[in-house]
Amino acid sequence: MSDNFHSEKNFIFNFLQNPEISNSYTKQQWSLLLRIARNANILAHIGWLLKLKNIFDDAPSKVKDNINAAQTIVEYRKQTALWELDRLHHALNGIGTDIIALKGGAYLIAQLPFSEARMFADIDILVKKEKIEMIEDMLLKQSWKSMKMDDYDQKYYREWSHEIPPLRHIARTIEVDIHHTIIPPTSRLNPDPQKLLAETVASNENGFKTLSSYDMTLHSATHLFYDSDLDNKLKDLIDLDQLITHFCKKENDFVNKLIVRAGELDLQRPLFYTLYFTQKLLGTKITANELKNSKKISGVSFPTVILMDILVPLAILPEHPDFPRLTVRFARWLLYIRSHYLRMPLKLLIPHLLYKSKTRWEASKSAA
Amino acid sequence: MHEVKKQIQSRKWSVPQNTTLLIKQRQDSAIVFHSKSGETHQLNDIGIAALLIIQQHPVSLNDLADQINKLYEVETPSELTVRLQRLVKDFEILGLIEPFKE
Amino acid sequence: MKLSHYSVPELLKKASSNNGIILLVGPFSVRLRTRNHQLVSNLRDLYQDFSTCSVKNQIVDFHIDMFSPSNHRRWIKPQINFSIDGLFPFSPFSVSHATPLFEWGFNWCIARNAQNFLLLHAAVLEKNNKSLILPALPGSGKSTLAAALSHSGWRFLSDEFCIIHPSDGKIIPIPRPTPLKNESIQIIRDFSPDTFIGPLFHNTRKGTIGHLRSPTSAIEQQHKPGTPRWIIFPRYQSSSKTTLMPLDKSFSQMKLASNAFNYEIQSEVGFKTVTRMVDNCDCYNLTFSTLNSAISILDTLADNV
């Protein structure tokens, strides 16, 4: 392999689709894999894939050391998350309403295999809208605090995106985000929360519930393709590949049923992008028919698919740290605008973007 | 008021299920690692004795005071109970113990 | 091949290329890329006994870049950046402070990434095959004492990080240059006139800094792990009597845990590692006012084992 990454554009995707390719890696290729994976927060996941294929022990000792270090951080974050869920359950005991764990918390509670080596961030929970104030109140009385932020951010959260700012217990560092919908209420997509709550699944853990396998997948799909700018979000795409692959083993005809459910929740578009890009970039087993069906009911136009086909891989692909490309920056900027456009009406979008870029410019000026 | 006080003292405490406590005891003190929270605590002799008793089986504040008294015989029973009440409250806040549900 | 094998122009040429210079330091491998002549020259002096190799022969832990900013600070009051894989953990430094920036950045990389070890904030020395751990507290005189010991018959294992391998509790040496601060610089110059201290950097966030090159023998033995035997919390106190006071082990264990960079992240393994260390070590507070009296008392401790 030459050191020129661009001749190996699919380096990371090739590994993810077929980890045994690393049996013939040079030292330079291993170095590159470690760097890219660490930056993308998937280094522990790489280790998990190597262990699944029984080739972890054969890897060079430096690779094992770096992966063990990443796995140690993952274990610590998992423990922190589970403890926070424990304390939330303790604090909200007897509250008389369902509390649903979302995203990483849900994967941990449901003990999905890939959650073993998945880097965790913050806790997200879903509750009924009318219960939010009471829950926030109960937590604030038991030493959780609303995250300090300026008046603009508080207003943004409460009035514009109809959410409350994250909470954090005074003795701990993990943030708790309480939602009443799975996508910001001001966005163009509006999956009915009642439909989600009707299909929740009880778990063994701490009285928390999780979304159904279909809704869990659709939430992740919507979060990636409608609530984020895709910047360096390979990890989220991997989550989707893992969710779909896992549930396909557990349930009959999972993908087709997923497409039906997406129709019920009006989430056909994010699901189409999910099926299309997990199949294309990570080799997820989606049949041509399933893809065709999903595209048809999503109503995505041909030109849009072409455009996303160019932008998404550019934005999602982790960059070679030594050779950052302008095309990638441009693609990420376009998708950043897109994600905000999808998240809020135009009349809020422009002032919001102006305010955010002004604060960013001021911050960079003072650092210089 | 008296009834409430009686209730508190007869409530039983236990260490929650699936809790691992790693304990290093040295003479008069102990270091405890609480696996669920990832926190490490240093306890004196009475503190570690109380925690070990609660870990063995659910126990009320009164019973705890009796058992500790048999081990140490250093304080007047009422002072010990007050001290243990504070200790049990601290343990609960830290998540080391919880009220036992029969 | 040792770094000293290459001239500064040769090293600068390598450092300016895409492949950079590879440095093997303790358990870590670093790739450094920079065009700064002064930095390369200083590092050649301070790391002269460490090995370098071709990028093809080494899997790299830290890919460090030190380049000028692309804005006007390239030319006007010139600055230099420290970055690792596109991350910039620090604001730019004045270009004349490139060497201390490299050292602090290297510390940052270890503290952030080396989570397969327990990392104590401590100096480590060895005598009679037994290791002495000196945990760091501000103003304790740890670095000065460690530097003096390393020139008094003790093997130098580390100044900043006591790296413990959790599987066996052994200490992994990383005998990097020691950053001496302010008065300590002259103290060590007086104590050991033959040692090499690099150029002085004034007005850094820690005052004036000069880097002490580690003894060649320390670097030659860096692959030999250390076995912990004493944990001693040093405290420099002028005009005091030098005393060594035994410490309660539970107290020492909590103090050591709070001293570690990554005790919480290590979780259960961290607890077990620290417990084992304290079990196997004698723990003391050391109050001292002169280096010679401190060294004398520590020599007696080492020889009585």
Kindly tell me if the per-residue pLDDT of A4 is higher than 60: no
Confirm or reject contact between C262 and chain B (CB < 8 A).
no
* Subunit contact A87:B95, Cβ cutoff 8 A: yes
List phi, psi (to 5°) of C246.
Answer: -60, 145
Nearest CB neighbour to C85, from listed A35, A73, A367: A35
Nearest CA among A228, A226, A224 for reference residue A236? A224
Using CA atoms, how far residue B52 sits from B42, B43, B83, C102, C198, in Å, is 14, 11, 17, 50, 56
Domains, chain C, in order of start with CATH, read 3-113 (no CATH), 118-303 (3.40.50)
* Subunit contact A76:B38, Cβ cutoff 8 A: yes
* Subunit contact B35:C268, Cβ cutoff 8 A: yes
User: Which residues on chain A are in Cβ contact (under 8 Å) with B98?
Assistant: 90
More confident residue, A203 or C158: C158
User: What is the average pLDDT across C275-289?
Assistant: 96
Q: CB C197: neighbour CB atoms within 10 A? A: 20
Kindly tell me if the per-residue pLDDT of A334 is higher than 90: no
First to last CA, chain C: 38
* Percent of the residues in chain A that have a pLDDT greater than 90, as a whole number: 60
User: Which residues on chain B are in Cβ contact (under 8 Å) with A143?
Assistant: none
Cα–Cα distance between A268 and C152 in angstroms, integer? Answer: 74
Query: Which token pair is C222?
Result: 């860096």
Kindly tell me if the per-residue pLDDT of C102 is higher than 80: yes
* Subunit contact B31:C264, Cβ cutoff 8 A: no
Nearest CA in chain C to B26: C250
Q: Are strands A144-146 and A167-169 parallel, antiparallel or unpaired?
A: antiparallel
User: What is the average pLDDT across B55-77?
Assistant: 86
Using CA atoms, how far residue B102 sits from A166, B13, B59, B98, B99, in Å, is 36, 11, 12, 12, 9
More confident residue, C285 or B70: C285
Total number of domains in chain A: 1
- Residue A51: which pLDDT band, with cuts at 50, 70 and 90? very high
Give Cα A68 distance to the centre of its chain.
23
Q: How far away is chain C from the Cα of A232, in angstroms, using its nearest Cα?
A: 13
* Subunit contact C250:B38, Cβ cutoff 8 A: no
User: Which residues on chain A are in Cβ contact (under 8 Å) with C110?
Assistant: none
ipTM above 0.85, yes or no: yes
- Residue A148: which pLDDT band, with cuts at 50, 70 and 90? low
CB A171 within 8 A of CB B37: no
Kindly tell me if the per-residue pLDDT of B96 is higher than 70: yes
Nearest CB neighbour to B24, from listed C251, C268, C275: C275
Cα–Cα distance between B45 and B23 in angstroms, integer? Answer: 13
Domain hosting residue A304, numbered range: 212-359
Q: How far away is chain A from the Cα of B36, in angstroms, using its nearest Cα?
A: 6
Please report, as a single letter, which amino acid is at residue A104.
G
- Residue A367: which pLDDT band, with cuts at 50, 70 and 90? very low
Cα–Cα distance between C18 and C66 in angstroms, integer? Answer: 13
Cα–Cα distance between A272 and A293 in angstroms, integer? Answer: 9
Q: With respect to residue A10, please indicate whether it lies within any of the assigned structural domains.
A: no
A258-268 pLDDT tens trace: 999 999 999 99
Cα–Cα distance between A86 and A207 in angstroms, integer? Answer: 9
How many residues in chain A? 368
H/E run at residue C156: strand C155-158
* Subunit contact C56:A79, Cβ cutoff 8 A: no
- Residue A338: which pLDDT band, with cuts at 50, 70 and 90? confident
Nearest CA in chain A to C85: A321
Q: Are strands A175-179 and A123-126 parallel, antiparallel or unpaired?
A: parallel
Confirm or reject contact between C275 and chain B (CB < 8 A).
yes
User: Which residues on chain C are in Cβ contact (under 8 Å) with B40?
Assistant: 254, 257, 263, 271
Give Cα C234 distance to the centre of its chain.
17
**The sheet that has B21-26: what strands, in order across it?**
B21-26, B29-34, B39-44
* Subunit contact A72:C115, Cβ cutoff 8 A: yes
Q: With respect to residue A98, please indicate whether it lies within any of the assigned structural domains.
A: no
- Residue C178: which pLDDT band, with cuts at 50, 70 and 90? very high
C118-168 pLDDT tens trace: 999 999 999 999 999 999 988 889 999 999 999 999 999 999 999 999 999
> In sequence order, what are the beta bridge partners of C226?
C171
H/E run at residue C134: strand C130-135
User: Which residues on chain B are in Cβ contact (under 8 Å) with A80?
Assistant: 38
Q: How far away is chain B from the Cα of C294, in angstroms, using its nearest Cα?
A: 29
Q: With respect to residue A137, please indicate whether it lies within any of the assigned structural domains.
A: no
Cα–Cα distance between A122 and A174 in angstroms, integer? Answer: 6
Please report, as a single letter, which amino acid is at residue C152.
S
Kindly tell me if the per-residue pLDDT of A5 is higher than 60: no
Does the CA dihedral A111-A115-A116-A121 come out positive or negative?
Answer: negative
Helix intervals (H) in B18-76: 45-56, 61-72
Cα–Cα distance between A331 and A306 in angstroms, integer? Answer: 14
List phi, psi (to 5°) of C67.
Answer: -125, 160
Q: DSSP string covering C68-102, please?
A: --SSGGGTSS-EE--EETTB--SPPEEGGGHHHHH
3-state secondary structure of A177: strand
Residues of A with a Cβ under 8 Å from any C Cβ are 3, 26-28, 30-31, 34-35, 38-39, 60, 62-63, 65-66, 68-70, 72-73, 75-76, 79, 319, 321-322, 324, 367-368
- Residue A228: which pLDDT band, with cuts at 50, 70 and 90? confident
Kindly tell me if the per-residue pLDDT of A29 is higher than 90: yes
| Predicted local confidence at residue A7, as pLDDT | 45
CB C61 within 8 A of CB C110: no
From the candidates C248, C249, C250, which should be mutated to test the interface with B, based on the most B CB atoms within 10 A?
C250
| Predicted local confidence at residue A351, as pLDDT | 65
- Residue A346: which pLDDT band, with cuts at 50, 70 and 90? low
- Residue A348: which pLDDT band, with cuts at 50, 70 and 90? low
Cα–Cα distance between B7 and B67 in angstroms, integer? Answer: 19
* Subunit contact B36:A87, Cβ cutoff 8 A: no
Query: Which token pair is C132?
Result: 């002495």
| Predicted local confidence at residue A176, as pLDDT | 95
Q: Mean pLDDT: which of A301-310, C68-77, C147-156 is highest?
A: C147-156
CB C287 within 8 A of CB C237: yes
Query: Which token pair is C162?
Result: 């006591």
User: What is the average pLDDT across A125-142?
Assistant: 92
3-state secondary structure of C62: strand
* Subunit contact A83:B98, Cβ cutoff 8 A: no
Q: Is B60 exposed, middle or buried (0-12, 13-18, 19+ CB in 10 A)?
A: middle
Tally C-beta pairs within 8 A across A and C: 66
| Predicted local confidence at residue C94, as pLDDT | 94
CA angle A159, A164, A166 (to 5 degrees): 140
Residue whose entry in the numeric block shows the structure tokens 């705890």: B64
CB C49 within 8 A of CB C2: yes
Cα–Cα distance between A192 and B46 in angstroms, integer? Answer: 55
CB C174 within 8 A of CB C239: no
Question: Would residue A306 be called left, alpha or beta, if left means φ above 0 and alpha means ψ between -120 and 50 degrees?
Answer: alpha
DSSP letter, residue A98: -
**Chains touching C by CB (3 or more pairs below 8 Å):** A, B
**Which residues lie below 8 Å from residue B91, measured CB to CB, with a gap of 6+?**
B13, B50, B51, B54, B97
B2-16 pLDDT tens trace: 666 666 667 899 999
From the candidates A66, A326, A364, which should be mutated to test the interface with C, based on the most C CB atoms within 10 A?
A66
- Residue B1: which pLDDT band, with cuts at 50, 70 and 90? low
Q: With respect to residue A241, please indicate whether it lies within any of the assigned structural domains.
A: yes
C17-60 pLDDT tens trace: 999 999 999 999 999 999 999 999 999 999 999 999 999 999 99
Q: With respect to residue A225, please indicate whether it lies within any of the assigned structural domains.
A: yes
User: Which residues on chain B are in Cβ contact (under 8 Å) with A74?
Assistant: none
User: Which residues on chain C are in Cβ contact (under 8 Å) with A38?
Assistant: 85, 113
| Predicted local confidence at residue B3, as pLDDT | 67
* Subunit contact A368:C71, Cβ cutoff 8 A: yes
A176-201 pLDDT tens trace: 999 988 887 777 788 888 888 889 89
A253-303 pLDDT tens trace: 999 999 999 999 999 999 999 999 999 999 999 999 999 999 999 998 888
Q: DSSP string covering A217-236, please?
A: HHHHHHHHHHSS--TT-HHH
User: Angle of helix A61-91 relative to helix A27-39, nearest 10 degrees?
Assistant: 20
User: Which residues on chain B are in Cβ contact (under 8 Å) with C264?
Assistant: 38
Per-domain residue ranges of chain B: 19-96
Q: How far away is chain C from the Cα of A117, in angstroms, using its nearest Cα?
A: 15
Cα–Cα distance between C241 and A72 in angstroms, integer? Answer: 44
CB C255 within 8 A of CB C193: no
Confirm or reject contact between C280 and chain B (CB < 8 A).
no
A59-105 pLDDT tens trace: 999 999 999 999 999 999 999 999 999 999 999 988 888 899 999 99
- Residue C153 half-sphere exposure, CB side, CA atoms within 13 Å? 10
b/e map C251-277, b = 16+ CB within 10 Å: ebbbbbbebbbbbbbbbeebbbbbbbb
- Residue A113: which pLDDT band, with cuts at 50, 70 and 90? very high
Q: Are strands A175-179 and B12-14 parallel, antiparallel or unpaired?
A: unpaired
Q: Is C183 exposed, middle or buried (0-12, 13-18, 19+ CB in 10 A)?
A: exposed
> In sequence order, what are the beta bridge partners of C171?
C164, C226
Q: With respect to residue A341, please indicate whether it lies within any of the assigned structural domains.
A: yes
- Tell me which long-range contacts C272-279 makes (C-beta under 8 A, separation of at least 24): C272/B22, C272/C166, C273/C118, C273/C164, C273/C166, C273/C169, C274/C118, C275/B24, C275/B31, C276/C169, C277/C133, C277/C164, C277/C169, C277/C228, C277/C231, C278/C231, C278/C249, C278/C252, C278/C253, C279/C249
Nearest CA among A17, A193, A26, A176 for reference residue A87? A176
User: What is the average pLDDT across C197-218?
Assistant: 95
Cα–Cα distance between A325 and A178 in angstroms, integer? Answer: 37
Q: With respect to residue A47, please indicate whether it lies within any of the assigned structural domains.
A: no
Cα–Cα distance between C133 and C154 in angstroms, integer? Answer: 12
